[in-house]
Amino acid sequence: ELKVEQNPLFLSMQEGKNYTIYCNYSTTSDRLYWYRQDPGKSLESLFVLLSNGAVKQEGRLMASLDTKARLSTLHITAAVHDLSATYFCAVGGWETSGSRLTFGEGTQLTVNP
Amino acid sequence: NAGVTQTPKFRVLKTGQSMTLLCAQDMNHEYMYWYRQDPGMGLRLIHYSVGEGTTAKGEVPDGYNVSRLKKQNFLLGLESAAPSQTSVYFCASNDPTGELFFGEGSRLTVL
């Protein structure tokens, strides 16, 4: 059974600081996704990582994937208040039965002025 | 472009009542999913469909039924609602990369 663990689960940081959220998973997978969720809202796709060593950046966020270590990181650079949200990683392989993703518990990020 | 649309967005039920959540997508995706989200538990897959006329069980299927009579629609039914089914329900579909596109969610309370 695939297990996905994120840490930390809660993160409070100051504007301008850097930090990393970690996503570990228990079995081999070639696909990893990061989503953002604002309170009371739906999930918004941030990054799709499809191969070992993949790195993607969008604004102050950068995601990477190490399939050998079964680890993905979401790095936040010079945080701003607008980044406050819950971030989920999701892991899954492409199966004939579709893209059955397993989600981590989520990391609730609060960026303080 | 509507993407994935869920109705209703809010619903309150009494224990034992039944209801159906409707999900519609206009992206011509083959695969569709129903998830539930509970505090501290991330999203858990209830049922999914790999195409019109097909459905399969996910991680937490008990107490739910689904149907996919048309490619663009995926229905989630609760035959006899229980308080443990109080949750936020998300429908999703995916593109060929496996990336999921979510609806806005349906908040269900069972009293």
Q: What is the reported pLDDT for B1?
A: 63
**pLDDT by residue (tens digit) across B17-58?**
999 999 999 999 999 999 999 987 789 999 999 999 999 999
B8 or A29: whose pLDDT is higher?
Answer: B8
Bridge pairing between strands A71-76 and A55-58: unpaired
User: Does the structure show a pLDDT above 90 at A100?
Assistant: no
A88/B contact by beta carbon, under 8 A: yes
- Contact: B102, A101; criterion CB under 8 Å: no
Task: Tell me B40's DSSP state.
Answer: T
Which secondary-structure segment (H or E) carries A28? none
Residues 46-105 of B with CB under 8 A from A: 48-50, 56, 58, 90, 94, 97-105
Task: Tell me A40's DSSP state.
Answer: T
Q: How far from B20 is each of B8, B17, B78, B86, CA to CA, in Å?
A: 9, 11, 6, 14
Q: Which two tokens stand for residue B1?
A: 């472009």
Q: Which of A16-30, A86-100, B76-90, B92-106 has the lowest mean pLDDT?
A: A86-100
Mean pLDDT computed over every residue of chain A: 91
**pLDDT by residue (tens digit) across A60-95?**
999 999 999 999 999 999 999 999 999 999 998 655
| A6, A89 Cβ separation under 8 angstroms | yes
Q: Which two tokens stand for residue A31?
A: 């696909």
Judged by DSSP in three states, B91 sits in strand
B64 Cβ neighbours under 8 A, 6+ residues apart: B34, B46, B47, B76, B77, B78
B43/A contact by beta carbon, under 8 A: yes
- For residue A45, which residues of chain B lie inside 8 Å, CB to CB? 99-101
Neighbours of B8 (CB within 10 A): 12
| Across A33-58, average pLDDT | 93
| B32, B21 Cβ separation under 8 angstroms | no
